[in-house]
């Protein structure tokens, strides 16, 4: 069971594309976590305002916005979970590439299955991300901006 330099080079070449994919997923996770942080910050402001104001006229708008923010946060959390799952499966796939090559084990079906599962998770993540964006843009209200009429 000798490991040849050519085999290692070939395995590294096969692993390069998934590594670039991991970089893209990492960037996407950064975007998602930044959006989640903004949602959390805005929720805290609204919760504090609701605690101070009780039940005045503006509270109903704050409750509506808070409900939307909670919905958005759940969508973002699902997108983050699926993106992270995708990244983990890609890492497992890269490890399987090297283990299969080093031990001369036929893991091609497992590697292909991990790749397909990773892509499905990534697709699901993009769907939840798109849903969150649609919820965010649907609730934008130009009427709330002073000096601008709809």
Q: What is the pLDDT of residues 84-130, one digit of tens each?
A: 999 999 999 999 988 888 888 888 899 999 999 999 999 999 999 99
Indicate yes or no: pTM above 0.75: yes
Predicted local distance difference test score (pLDDT) of residue 72: 96
Predicted local distance difference test score (pLDDT) of residue 100: 87
Predicted local distance difference test score (pLDDT) of residue 77: 98
Sequence-distant (6+) residues with CB within 8 A of 55 are none
Q: What percent of the chain has pLDDT over 70?
A: 84
């Amino acid at each position: 069971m000798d490991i040849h330099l050519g085999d290692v080079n070939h395995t590294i070449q096969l692993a390069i594309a998934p590594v670039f994919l991991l970089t893209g997923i990492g960037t996407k996770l950064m975007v998602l976590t930044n959006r989640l942080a903004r949602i959390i910050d805005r929720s805290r402001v609204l919760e504090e305002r609701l605690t101070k104001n009780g039940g005045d006229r503006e509270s109903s708008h704050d409750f509506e916005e808070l409900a939307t923010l909670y919905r958005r946060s759940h969508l973002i959390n699902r997108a983050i979970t699926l993106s992270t799952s995708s990244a983990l499966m890609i890492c497992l796939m890269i490890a399987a590439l090297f283990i299969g090559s080093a031990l001369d084990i036929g893991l091609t079906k497992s590697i292909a299955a991990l790749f397909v599962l990773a892509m499905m998770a990534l697709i699901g993540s993009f769907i939840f991300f798109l849903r969150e964006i649609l919820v965010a843009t649907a609730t934008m209200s130009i009427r709330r901006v002073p000096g601008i009429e709809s």
